[in-house]
Amino acid sequence: MNLDGLTLAVLTKELSDQLVTGQIQRLLQIDKTTIVLKVNTHQGNKDLVITAGNLPACYLSHGITDLPKEPTALCMFLRKHLEGARITAIKQLNGDRILRINADKLALDGSLISNRIYIELMGKYSNCIFVQDGQILEALIHVTPLMNRERSIAPKLTYELPPNSERGSLFEFSNEEIGELLHNFGQGTVAETIRRIFNGFGPALLKEVCYEAGVTEKTEFTSLAAEQITSLAAALINLKTAINDAKQLYEYENANHKKFYSPVPLTYLLAQGGQLTATYDSISQPLEVAVVKQGGINTTTRELERTLEQAIKKEELRHSKIETELNDSSKADEYKAFGDLLMINAYRDTQYEPNITLDNILVNPVEPITISLVPELTVVENAQNYYKLYTKLKNRKQSGLYQLEQSSRRIDYLQSVLYSLTIADSKETV
């Protein structure tokens, strides 16, 4: 579940309403890319989860119980600067997928320390950057010049916004200005024009605006009549008003069972045979569900689950290998018979022959058998070679049966631990 900038605007209002004036009581690091801010607000204690992992997100959690007992070095460092700070503002920057949390703190000398937490929810470039007086204190993910030539992220560097984030927000312009921007900067398709002027448009909301205006996203903007441009401006103004009033999140499913999320109703999707599948009273709720379902946060329990799953997979591969070796060892008796037959025929001269055909007197009725030989060896030496193979496979079989039994027990044990972990309510019950 990836949020576009316009949906993030609704989430920003939600976070601002509940967290502004609250005090950061505790900072916890769940994994390498996830932190939790425990904030004491006038509405009670709130847990703000910020993750830049597999599913980048920022939301109010109902409570993460599986927390690490020992803080990391990064966690200890950030606690010194952020714990006790009061959240004075939460803003979305330029209508993009960037949130800024202002957290000011009084120093011992009475001066005010200005902390800024920049949450960049931009796919694989997502990050959470901690800035003090314009300078980067730390970040969940460091970015070197080798990783990104345009923008480095590391302590003591000056914080700069990501490239291409300077486009405007739909909420920054008046209704008249929105119409003028379309008339003056229309270029390329309708979709390209809207996205060039305004930040925050995902595919669903872009299609909704075009559907309401009676145009398509791929229509060349220069081919639009004046009335169509006016209709497009009106659709954008209506969307701006709807987003300003939005407090819910709608979940839709199209005819192909693909899910879409929007803070406003998607009439175009209903017209195409889609259906409304759920309505959430907050943006945080479905975000938390999506992150947990996808395993976007590696809590200590999830790490243990992953370790156990890897151990089980490794042991199953070992188990399979032992079984294969045991199947090979079934030839032990055959090799002994080869050795016996060659010793009975020790008088035969077979040097430099690749094989020899003998009467197999060890079976009834007697039948001819062809035995492969090492050409450089005599019959007796070939017999001794087969006896060695027999002894080796016999020992391997005895050892393999024991190892196979131990491997089965180990797999059963690991699977039982994994099952106990999946049904446990907390670490103490594991």
Per-residue pLDDT in tens (0 to 9) along the chain, 430 residues: 778 999 999 999 999 999 999 999 999 988 888 999 999 999 899 999 999 988 899 999 987 766 777 788 999 999 999 999 999 999 999 889 999 999 999 888 888 999 999 999 988 889 999 999 889 999 999 998 888 878 899 999 999 988 766 678 889 899 999 999 998 888 899 999 999 899 889 999 999 999 999 999 999 999 999 999 999 999 999 999 999 999 899 999 998 889 999 999 999 999 999 999 999 999 999 998 888 877 666 555 566 777 888 888 898 888 888 777 777 666 777 888 889 988 998 888 877 888 999 888 888 898 999 998 988 888 899 999 999 988 888 887 777 777 888 888 888 888 888 777 666 544 444 4
Q: Measured between alpha carbons, how far is 386 from 407 in angstroms, rounded to an integer?
A: 30
Q: Measured between alpha carbons, how far is 384 from 138 in angstroms, rounded to an integer?
A: 71
Asked if 283 and 243 touch (Cβ cutoff 8 Å), the reply is no
Handedness of CA 253, 258, 261, 264 (dihedral sign): negative
- What the chain holds in terms of domains, given with CATH numbers, is 5-139 (2.30.310.10), 170-283 (1.10.8.50), 300-429 (1.10.287)
For the stretch 340-389, pLDDT in tens is 988 998 888 877 888 999 888 888 898 999 998 988 888 899 999 999 98
Q: Where do we find the tokens 């042991």? A: 315
Tell me the pTM: 0.70
What is the secondary structure of 337-378 as a DSSP string?
Answer: HHHHHHHHTTTS--TT-SEEEEEETTSSS-EEEEEE--TTS-
